[in-house]
Each structure stands twice: as structure tokens, then as C-alpha cells.
Amino acid sequence: MNILILGGGGREHALAWAVKQNPKCDRLIVAPGNAGIAALAECAALDILDGAAVVEFCAAEAIDFVIVGPEAPLAAGVADAVAAAGLPVFGPSAAAARLEASKAFTKEICDACAAPTARWARFADPAAAKDYVRAEGAPIVVKADGLAAGKGVIVAMTEAEALAGIDMIFAGTFGAEAGAEVVIEEFMAGEEASFFVLCDGETVLPIGTAQDHKRVGDGDTGPNTGGMGAYSPAPVLSDAIAEQALAQIIRPTVAEMARRGTPYRGVLYAGLMIADGQARLVEYNCRFGDPECQVLMMRMGAQALDLMQACAEGRLAGLQVNWAQDHALTVVMAANGYPGDYARGSQIRGLEELPEDSRHMVFHAGTAEREGGIVAAGGRVLNVTARGATLAEARDRAYGLVDRIDWPGGFCRRDIGWRAL
Ligand code: AMP
Ligand code: GLY
């Protein structure tokens, strides 16, 4: 089978690594890929937001299956274009990807199926939004409606912060489209965890839980980032809570999407807030989390391809994930300065001496090759990932790898997994 993966971050490196282990995979192309991905797959230059270009590429390269990594091509309808060309594709249609692309849409779906989530209201007018904030008081959460590359959410501890957030959103700080409307939500206290399920339009198959660390500094301090590390499973997401989330949030959502004629096919990533033994929905994403995917793939290995294919072809009913009772943890190494300004191009040494096996893997998130060496080419640069019988063992292995990487231009958090350890 010839497989095309769209994307070029740590998530796509982990997907490529798992897919490549499956004997069904004959040829693997990743577009655009990165320097780490290039070690195990072909990388191709391709405009992954252009459905027609992707379809043309698939025909030219005799591709049999397409896996879409990030949300932007999904929201742009790339999965629709590939499916219309008759190829199986892993990733939802643009209509179903609205579960991530519009916060107001997700809230409407929750209301329609009575899924527990934060109380909310939507506004196209800043004055009305501000009146609502003044009436509700802080803490309160202000969100730009559309995709804002992980930004566009202001968790306001004071009324002043919320009012300033509304001004920023309507001023277009997070993009003109994301700033057309604002969603204002009740602040939910609790512990966050992520629940990943595959959906083929009807059947829902849980494939794992994870927790990430959004703040840049040890002890969850400093500014927000795209995620500085993650581990799986998430102990706070107990079997009982997972069952409640499936029964009250995820299965009703999938049924509601099917009822509307826009069935959800792909991985559904539910961000949950857990308090008093109950989960409420924070948000949906229509793709794997990054870096959560890295720990899920480390635990799933080659079967990930079979599951993604079954998902794309509507064959999830009766399937199961074969889990080892193990743990995986990933440490993000970022360029000094991230998430603020950071330099590109610093040399990373020592990677070639590290083990790469079913327990240890350094996934590349933002690297490039220069004169035979690896250099940093992004903010989040490496995802140093390990597996173990316990979370502590996975952590020790991951930091063991970190300590052998010679990269003065980068840093990482030293406390990934602390909540669960
Ligand atoms: P989102 O992009 O919607 O996931 O929001 C980003 C982050 O903001 C989440 O991961 C939460 O940490 C936080 N957040 C979003 N909505 C709420 C809420 N209603 N209550 C508390 N925290 C929230
Ligand atoms: N790590 C969070 C995300 O992928 O959205």
C-alpha cells in the first residue's frame, strides 16, 4: 500500500513512525515532512491546503490511502476532495471539522444533545459581549469563534482581562475570520485531560487518554505554549469517567453529527475538564493532539495504521485496540525564547547516537538538515519520547535521552508528568 501523510510536525513524525512499522505499508510519503521524517519516509513539497493539488499528487504517485495530520487542511476541505476522488482518507470532512473550526458550532451541538459543558453565549457585537461579561463577572472565558492556531482563548481571572480580550478578538488579533464572533463561557475549575476516540460516522472506538503541559515553565508557570510535554494514559481519566464522557458527551455528539447529515469520520479529540468525578467538555479537536499523538503512537505502534484504515472505511464496529499495560511520556525540547521570539538554525548534536526502538524515539517537530547536520527550524523542535512499564520508568528513559542531546540553543521542562507521578 502507498500511503500519504499530510503535515510536517512531531505529530506527523509519530504517525509516520507507527505506519512504517506495519508490513502493509509499501511506500510512505509525507508532505511536507521534516528532517526527522526524512529518515524513514520520502518527503514531498505539496500545498497541503489545496485539495485539487493533493488529489493530483495522489494520482501521480499511485497513493492508496491519505492520512491528514493537522486541522487546517481538514477545515479547508482536503479530506472531502480526496474522498470525492474515490480514495480512502483518514480525517473528517470540512463540515464535520467544524467541531474544531467553530467554537459556537460545538456549543450548539452540545446543546442539541445535552452534553455537559460550560454555560455559554455568542456575540457578533463587542458592546453586547462586554455587557454580558459585566453581568456574569470573572473568572470567565472569552474565545474567538474560529481557528486561531491554538491562540484566541482568554481565560480571564478579572473582568478587565475579559473586556480587553473581547477588544483583541474583534480587532482581528487572532485573524480576521476568527475575530468575527466571540464565544463567552463560564469558567470551569478542575483537572484537564484529553480523550481520543476514532469514529467512522457511527461507531466510536476509544484509543487512549493523555494529559499535556501547556505552560512553558516548570510547575506549570509562565506563558501558554502549544504543549511542552505529554503522557499517556491520564490517570485522572478513570474508566468510570471515560464511560461517562462516552455516554454523555462523545456518543451523543457523533449521533447528532450523523443526524445532521455530516457524519464524523476520523479521530475526535475531546478536551475534558474533570471535577467531582464528572467530565465536562472543554473543546473538540478534529485531529490528533501534538504532542499527545507522539505518546499514543508510541503505545499503539503498527496497529495504528489498521485502525485508521478501518476508521476511514467505516469498519470500526467490533474492532479493539490491543493495549499493553504500559505508559509513554514525551518531553518537548524547544528553541530558547519560545513561545516568544526564538532563533532558528542552532545546531543539534548527539541525535544519531540515541536508541530508536519500540521504547525510545526522538520525534522531530521543527528541524531541518544543514550540511549533513540537524538544525532547529521552529519553536517546538524535538519530542523526546519513551515507554515504560510505569510512568516513572517512561519519564526516566525520556529524560535519559534528553540528557544525551547536545543542544545549547534549546531547553525543556524538567517536570513532565508531575501531576501523575
Ligand atoms: P480551547 O482552545 O477551547 O481548548 O481552550 C484552551 C484552553 O483554555 C483549554 O485547554 C483550557 O485550559 C482553557 N479553557 C477553555 N475553556 C475553558 C473553560 N470554559 N473553563 C476553564 N478553562 C477553559
Ligand atoms: N497539544 C494540544 C493540541 O494539539 O491542541
Separation between Cα atoms, residue 87 and residue 78, nearest integer Å: 12
Pocket of ligand 2 (CB under 6 A): 150, 212, 226-227, 285, 289-290, 292
Q: What is the mean pLDDT of residues 28-48?
A: 97
Q: Which CATH number fits domain 191-312: 3.40.140.10, 3.90.470.20, 3.30.70.370, 3.30.470.20?
A: 3.30.470.20
The number of the ligand 1 atom at minimal distance from the alpha carbon of 117 is 19
Is residue 193 within 8 Å of 210, Cβ to Cβ? yes
175 pLDDT more than 70: yes
C-alpha 268 – ligand 2 centre gap (Å): 12
Distances (CA, A) of 211 to 216, 289, 388: 15, 10, 17
| Ramachandran angles phi, psi of 51, nearest 5° | -55, -40
C-alpha 79 – ligand 1 centre gap (Å): 27
Q: Which CATH number fits domain 327-411: 3.90.600.10, 3.50.50.60, 3.30.9.10, 3.40.710.10?
A: 3.90.600.10
Q: Residue 21 corresponds to which cell in the numbers above?
A: 512499522
What does pLDDT average to over the chain?
95
Identify the DSSP state of 386. Answer: E
| Ramachandran angles phi, psi of 325, nearest 5° | -80, 65
Q: What is the mean pLDDT of residues 269-294?
A: 97
Q: Could you say which ligand is closest to the alpha carbon of residue 106?
A: 1
Q: How far is CA 191 from the centre of its chain?
A: 18
The number of the ligand 2 atom at minimal distance from the alpha carbon of 290 is 4
Ligand 2 site-directed mutation target among 292, 294, 413, most atoms within 8 Å of CB: 292
Res. 151 pLDDT band, cuts 50 70 90: confident
| Ramachandran angles phi, psi of 42, nearest 5° | -80, 140
Residue with the nearest Cα to atom 11 of ligand 1? Answer: 282
Res. 174 pLDDT band, cuts 50 70 90: confident
Q: Could you say which ligand is closest to the alpha carbon of residue 227?
A: 2
CB proximity list for 122: less than 8 A, separation 6 or greater: 104, 107, 145, 181, 182, 183, 184
Residue with the nearest Cα to atom 5 of ligand 2? Answer: 289
Q: Residue 345 corresponds to which cell in the numbers above?
A: 538554525
Is residue 330 within 8 Å of 295, Cβ to Cβ? yes
Pocket of ligand 1 (CB under 6 A): 118, 141, 143, 153, 155, 185-188, 192, 271, 282-283
149 pLDDT more than 70: no
The number of the ligand 2 atom at minimal distance from the alpha carbon of 11 is 4
Over the range 220-244, which residues count as b (16 or more CB within 10 Å of their CB) and which as e?
A: eeeeebbbbbbbbbbebbbeebbeb
Separation between Cα atoms, residue 306 and residue 284, nearest integer Å: 24
Domain chopping of the chain, boundaries: 2-92, 125-180, 191-312, 327-411
Distances (CA, A) of 226 to 7, 148, 215, 393: 16, 12, 9, 25
Q: How far is CA 274 from the centre of its chain?
A: 19
Q: Which CATH number fits domain 125-180: 3.30.300.130, 3.90.230.10, 3.30.1490.20, 2.40.128.20?
A: 3.30.1490.20
The number of the ligand 1 atom at minimal distance from the alpha carbon of 187 is 20
Instruction: Let me know if domain 2-92 sits in CATH 3.30.830.10.
Output: no
148 pLDDT more than 80: no
C-alpha 11 – ligand 2 centre gap (Å): 10
What is the per-residue pLDDT across 359-404, written as a single tens digit (0 to 9) for each?
999 999 999 999 989 999 999 999 999 999 999 999 999 999 999 9
Residues paired with residue 406 on neighbouring β-strands, in sequence order? 349
